[in-house]
Amino acid sequence: MARHKEDKLINDPGESREESLSRVIEEVLSGQGPRKPRGTVLPLPSQRTHTPRTVDAISRALVAAGGRVSYAAIILGLTPTYLRQRIRDSEELTSLKDEIQEFRIDIAESKLDKKVLEEKYPAIQFLLESQGKSRGYTKRTELTGAEGSRLIFEFSDGSVDKDEKEDH
């Protein structure tokens, strides 16, 4: 019974991991979201007794949920806390979750690039401030003393720390 439920809620078993990942990510980005069962958001204890807990089942659920652990937990009928622990305990599952996240970031960067090419100012500004820092495109705050003088810090124990660059 658990195997039938898993197949119905997750993905086509004939679909490759890459095909499934790509399809689900596109569903999530289009606003359709990953498939999940109807009913309660968190599974009831009675729903958790015969749930698939294999690495393969969890992998498929993570892919179906676009890497979102809470959605994958709903698909599997597990609690998010339990599923997060299973992922932390498995190098394979941790790697898969990271891979899905990197894929989603790649998609987001592609969307940002598209907006930059369309000459949308907020996208250009964001790109320069986040990736153009080495060229000076950054917001920065400078702390100085009164009228631009150096800072002098006085601590409660009476010690003083001042900028070593003295004007001579």
For 76-113, the pLDDT digits (tens) are 888 899 999 999 999 999 999 999 999 989 999 999 99
pLDDT single digits (tens) 104-140: 899 999 999 999 999 999 999 999 988 888 888 877 7
Q: Within a 10 A sphere around the Cβ of 73, how many other Cβ atoms?
A: 26
| In the chain, where the domains are located | 2-133
